[in-house]
Structure 1
Amino acid sequence: MSHIITMYIADQSRLMSYLSGDLDEHQQRTVRDYIHKDAREHQASLDRQGIDLGLSIPDALDHLLAGRPDADGDCVGNAYYGAMRHIIANIGSDPIEFGVYSKPSTFFGLLDDELRRAGVPADLLPHGFLYADLPDEIPFSIPSPLDGYPAFGRLPLAKTEAVADAYTAVLEAIDSSFVYDTKLLIKTMQTEHDEWQSALQYGHTMDTIFFSIQG
């Protein structure tokens, strides 16, 4: 099965505010007019495929917004993570497709080994941020998806240049089979750093890359 990795650039504190259980008027409109609409469309797609997660995506969204994702069932984590993606997608940038991988966790785990061997610090390795999960600051536990997908990752924009520089420094020292994807990471991280620096000049507060891995 192929897994699609998509990036969203967002303000992490803004995400936290949607999970506080106390939405302001603007947030309520955003939920009503956009996030709930996407959740309903997601659920309709699941219904057409005959997929029952034991909890609908709109109900999972309501649980998250109320700060009580406490449904029981083997697959409710899939519903909660699906609903979370709609929150992030609506408060962040347009989606940016990073790539499609058949076994991303395995591949980026091997890339971690290669980069680590070449001297890249542990906190800059790709598997770590691609699979970092949701922010630790979320004040409640969310059930994990069955089989690990969908998955989330995150990386502070303040670290993107360090990632690009570290990978560039070891590019000639890693196995050739990893060069293409490492170059893709370098280009992506440098681009996001440059755009973040430009956005800061105009008062934008986005500070995090969120990775959504579907499949």
Structure 2
Amino acid sequence: MSRIITYNTAAKADVLSCLGTDGKLTAEQHRVLGMVRERAEAAQRDLDAQGLDWGLPIPEALGHLLEGRADSTAHYAAGAYTTALQCVIDIKGSDPYDLGVYSRPATFLLALDEELRRVGVSEDLLLYPHVFSGPPKEIPFFLPHAVDGPHIGMFPLAKAKPAADAYRAVLDTVAPDFRDEVDRFASVFASEHSEWEYATKAIDWYDQDTIFFSITG
């Protein structure tokens, strides 16, 4: 079964601000979380349409995260919590874009990283550790890992230009099987850097700092 990787950008602090609020919300937070709840309900309807039961409804999982916990013992609670967190990221962040569709994304990205490493790309710019990084480490409570997905990953926007430059610099030396993907990833990072650089200078309230990856399917 193919896995779909999408990405958007958001401020990590904005995402974290929704977790563990325990009812202490500003009027703006109430408005935003209303949209997050609608997104969680839509995600649950999608699960129901597929005949899937994770043992913990996604809206209920979202409620737990807002309370500052993720302690359900349901058989696939980890998937519900990850999906609920993705709902927060989607509402707090930009519109999502497709990064790619892969039958085995982890295997492919590990192989790509090995090729990039071989031609001299630095470890901190390799893809797998970021795409499969997991949710923010700053979440103040334990969030179980969804072994079979969905998965969340992160890449700092401050590293987008260095990554684009590094990938383009080695484009002619990577193995032909990886060249198109390296070129595409370089274009993605260059585009995200341009938008980030412009918005940081031109929009006084802009504070996005992270590319968030979502792996589903």
CA drift of 1:20 comes to: 3.3
Indicate the structure with greater helix content.
Answer: 1
Aligned residue in 1 for 2:173: 173
Q: Which moved more, 1:122-131 or 1:45-54?
A: 45-54
Which residues of structure 2 form unaligned runs of 5+? Answer: none
CA drift of 1:144 comes to: 1.2
CA drift of 1:9 comes to: 0.6
1:118-148 Cα distance to aligned partner (Å, 9 max, x none): 111111001111111111111111111142x
Aligned residue in 2 for 1:45: 46
CA drift of 1:151 comes to: 0.6
Q: Does residue 1:91 correspond to 2:92, yes or no?
A: yes
What is the letter of the counterpart of residue 179 of structure 2?
A: V
CA drift of 1:207 comes to: 0.8
The CA distance in 1 between the partners of 2:63 and 2:11, in whole Å, is 21
Aligned residue in 2 for 1:115: 116
The CA distance in 2 between the partners of 1:52 and 1:31, in whole Å, is 24
CA drift of 1:111 comes to: 0.2
Aligned residue in 2 for 1:23: 25
CA drift of 1:28 comes to: 1.4
CA drift of 1:174 comes to: 1.0
SS in 2 for 1:8: strand
SS in 2 for 1:9: strand
SS in 2 for 1:6: strand
- Provide the TM-score with structure 2 as the length reference: 0.95
Runs of 4+ in 1 over 3 A off after TM superposition: none
RMSD: 1.0
Among the aligned pairs, what percent are the same residue?
A: 42
1:72-122 Cα distance to aligned partner (Å, 9 max, x none): 033100000111111000000011111111111000000000000111111
Note if contact 1:75-1:146 (Cα within 8 Å) is conserved in structure 2.
no
1:50-83 Cα distance to aligned partner (Å, 9 max, x none): 2110100000000011111110033100000111
1:155-214 Cα distance to aligned partner (Å, 9 max, x none): 111000010111111111110000000000000000000110000122211111000011
The CA distance in 1 between the partners of 2:181 and 2:36, in whole Å, is 33
- Provide the TM-score with structure 1 as the length reference: 0.96
The CA distance in 2 between the partners of 1:155 and 1:79, in whole Å, is 23
Note if contact 1:17-1:23 (Cα within 8 Å) is conserved in structure 2.
no
Aligned residue in 1 for 2:146: 145
CA drift of 1:48 comes to: 2.2
SS in 2 for 1:210: strand
Map of 1:128-167 to 2, 5 A cutoff?
128-147=129-148, 149-167=149-167
What is the letter of the counterpart of residue 144 of structure 2?
A: P
SS in 2 for 1:182: helix
